[in-house]
Amino acid sequence: MSTFTGSVSKDDQYRLPINVKPTHYDVTIKTDLENLEFAGFVKISVDVVDETSSITLNTSALELGKASIYSDALKIEQEESGGSFDSTSERVTYVFLKSLPAGSKAQLKLGFSAKLTGSMSGYYKSMYEVDGKQKAYALTQFEPTAARRAFPCWDEPLLKATFGVTLISRADTVNLSNMPAISEQVYSAAAAKPNEHPDLAKLYSTLDNTWKITQFQDTPPMSTYIVAFANGHFEYLEKSVKMPLSGKELPLRIYGTWIDVGLVSQFSLGNAATADVIHQAQFALDVKASVLPHYERVFDVEYPLPKLDTLVLGAVENWGLITGRTNAFLLDPKKADLQAKKWVAAVQSHEVAHMWYGF
């Protein structure tokens, strides 16, 4: 476990130094909804701008493992020789014995863990009731600066990078992220890849065949605050729409939790979509399918991602994975008046527009 001393200078308390810049994150997150905790490992590829023996990045509310860095120029991997953490600026600085040469590339590797809390910030949990029993789902809310509560990162909008997300979860749950899943399999020790870092090996050593691993396609370059992922017992409605510029069929889904309590269903404690109301997401799904081709024609720019999901739980726009509360996404076609339909249509149109002009 890392031991930190010292503090960050008050003259430069909040902005990160730019001696190195991140280019790609490989983020692995294991979510345990039974014990309400998560653990992870991140490998961050960086460009070394100026020669340096220290690296500073953001972290908050995470228990950190021992950091190491591999230098492409030096051809060596070195563990941190010391470090400091500043709780006010939410920054950790790692110091290494050998300096990284300017103009070189390196990979920072670091394990971490935390409890899933109900903070509605970072990676958090929400509870709902099924047949008198409490159940949980977990999702992210990173805007404006809470990605650092889910994994150590350069948590500033200017420092864009690509992200490769891998989610480990109970086999009977659903994993979601910004991009489509490219592989999903129940964990098997025989199929496990060699682990190059002790924290990653420790993460995989806790798994058995009741767990699964979902790997998602790498994202385009983007800011940390629009990275998104979720895990829970989700169901979905789906349809697809042919986009006018690319000619591609774009898959669309709306996810939510289903709570079946016989003849009577009720909203969950976390405002999740329930069994008797999940069909009410159909109107929002239809609106999304209508406005996507329209926006592509108006902006004359192809929709940039391979899919667009909506999760009826939290409330924030993320690239490729919109989350929103029930009153903005669900509508009973038998009872809703014109004003209610306008409201849902306006919210959907607003959220979809963000996929083009930003967040």
Section 29-36 average pLDDT: 98
Q: What is the CA radius of gyration of the chain?
A: 21
Per-residue pLDDT at 281 exceeds 90: no
Section 144-149 average pLDDT: 98
> Is the Cβ–Cβ distance between 215 and 204 less than 8 Å?
no
CA 255 to chain centre: 16
* Number of C-beta neighbours around residue 181 at 10 A: 17
Q: Are strands 234-242 and 249-257 parallel, antiparallel or unpaired?
A: antiparallel
Over the chain, what HEC string results? CCCCCCCCCHHHCCCCCCCEEEEEEEEEEEEECCCCEEEEEEEEEEEECCCEEEEEEECCCCEECCCEEEECCCCEEEECCEEEEECCCCEEEEEEEEEECCCCEEEEEEEEEEECCCCCCEEEEEEEEECCEEEEEEEEECCCCCHHHCCCECCCCCCCEEEEEEEEEECCCEEEECCCEEEEEECCHHHCCCCCCHHHHHHHHCCCCCEEEEEECCCCCECHHHCCEEEECEEEEEEEEECCCCCCEEEEEEEEECCCCCCCCCCCCCCCCCCCCHHHHHHHHHHHHHHHHHHHHHHCCCCCCCCEEEECCCCECCCCEEECCHHHHCCCCCCCCHHHHHHHHHHHHHHHHHHHHCC
Strand partners, 176: 230
Section 166-174 average pLDDT: 98
Per-residue pLDDT at 346 exceeds 90: no
Query: Which CATH superfamily groups domain 10-230?
Result: tricorn interacting facor f3 domain (2.60.40.1730)
Give the model confidence (pLDDT) of 175-207 as tens digits: 999 999 999 999 998 766 666 688 998 999 999
The upper half-sphere exposure of residue 89, i.e. CA atoms within 13 Å in the direction of its Cβ, equals 22
CA angle 176, 230, 286 (to 5 degrees): 55
pLDDT at 157: 96
**Polymer length of the chain:** 359
Give the model confidence (pLDDT) of 207-251 as tens digits: 999 999 999 999 999 999 999 999 999 989 999 999 999 999 999
Is 351 among the catalytic positions?
yes
Pairwise pLDDT comparison (283 vs 177), residue with the higher score? 177
pLDDT at 347: 76
pTM of the complete model: 0.88
Give the integer Cα–Cα distance in Å for 283 and 308.
Answer: 16
Of 65-74, 84-93, 172-181, 325-334, the poorest mean pLDDT is in 325-334
Give the integer Cα–Cα distance in Å for 84 and 319.
Answer: 33
Binding residue ranges for Zn(2+): 350, 354
Give the integer Cα–Cα distance in Å for 170 and 208.
Answer: 10
Per the structure block, which two tokens stand in for 64?
């950190």
Alpha-carbon distances of 196 from 41, 77, 203, 336, rounded to whole Å: 11, 11, 12, 56
pLDDT at 359: 55
pLDDT at 266: 32
Binding residue ranges: 350, 354
Section 258-262 average pLDDT: 38
Topology match between the domains 10-230 and 233-357: no
CATH of segment(s) 233-357: 1.10.390.10
- Residue from 336, 320, 340 nearest 328 by CA: 340
* Number of C-beta neighbours around residue 97 at 10 A: 10
Q: Where are the domains of the chain?
A: 10-230, 233-357
CA 105 to chain centre: 25
